[in-house]
Amino acid sequence: MFQLNVFMSHSSSDKELVSKVVTELGSFVMDCFVAHEDIEPTSKWQQEIKKRLNDMHLMVAFVTEHYHSSIWCNQELGFALGKNVPIIPLRLSANPQGFISNMQALTPRIPKNTFVKSRREEVIARDIETLALKFTSEYDSIRQWVVYRLINSKSYDEANGMSAALKGCLLSQDEIMKIRKAKDKNSQIAEAWEVDDNLPQIFS
């Protein structure tokens, strides 16, 4: 199983929202690290954070009015920039500053409908997934995550979406073979109407 390791960089003031978003991201095969939840009380928390930073494939920065005043958040961002992993700045109640100010920031599209407002975390999670998929051709770890999701697609929409993200990507022979075998076994791939067109290098 390949899970995308996502480091959720945030101020402790915003932990409630972050926790809700993490719950939603689990359905996208993302293993999200949230320091205030994921570190055991007996752990040496600074070492654990360093380990998770080293292992991350993607960082999501929850930019609120508290974010840039946090020494820890600024250090986490610096680590991600030095490691050259993709960063998604999530613009909530403040604008990204410094090196991430020029990156494509994600402003959640929260509908005005009262019921949907109560599911703000679901909207944010979907937007994070959409932006993460845009990194597919640039980062091996993102591509591996997308290939895994395609192979294990649970719906036609997921198969179509993952194959679209892989369109034009340079795939390894191992990945090509896995996708071909998966199509023979997984009807969600075999019967999805866009997969063949999205991946002509495999199914032409």
The backbone torsions φ and ψ at residue 61, rounded to the nearest 5 degrees and listed phi first, read -105, 120
Q: Which CATH number fits domain 4-133: 1.10.260.40, 3.40.50.10140, 3.40.630.10, 3.40.1160.10?
A: 3.40.50.10140
Q: How far is CA 169 from the centre of its chain?
A: 18
Give the pLDDT confidence score for residue 111 in this predicted structure. Answer: 60
Type and span of the H or E element at 6: strand 4-9
pLDDT of 1 > 80? The answer is yes
Give the pLDDT confidence score for residue 12 in this predicted structure. Answer: 84
Tens of pLDDT, residues 64-118: 888 888 888 889 999 999 999 999 998 887 767 777 767 666 677 666 665 554 5
DSSP state string for 112-141: S-HHHHTTHHHHHHHHHHHHHHTTTTT-HH
Higher pLDDT, 40 or 135: 135
DSSP state string for 28-69: GTEEEE-HHHHS-TTS-HHHHHHHHHHH-SEEEEEESTTTTT
Tens of pLDDT, residues 132-184: 999 999 999 999 999 999 999 999 999 999 999 999 999 999 999 999 999 99
- pLDDT, mean of residues 33-38: 74
How many angstroms separate the CA atoms of 196 and 27, rounded?
A: 25
Contact 189, 166 (CB under 8 A): no
Give the pLDDT confidence score for residue 112 in this predicted structure. Answer: 61
Give the pLDDT confidence score for residue 36 in this predicted structure. Answer: 66
Give the pLDDT confidence score for residue 79 in this predicted structure. Answer: 94
Place of tokens 């402790």: 12
Query: Which pLDDT band, with edges at 50, 70 and 90, does 49 fall under?
Result: confident
Give the pLDDT confidence score for residue 18 in this predicted structure. Answer: 92
Contact 120, 92 (CB under 8 A): no
Q: Per mean pLDDT, which range of 8-12, 112-116, 128-132, 186-190 is the poorest?
A: 112-116
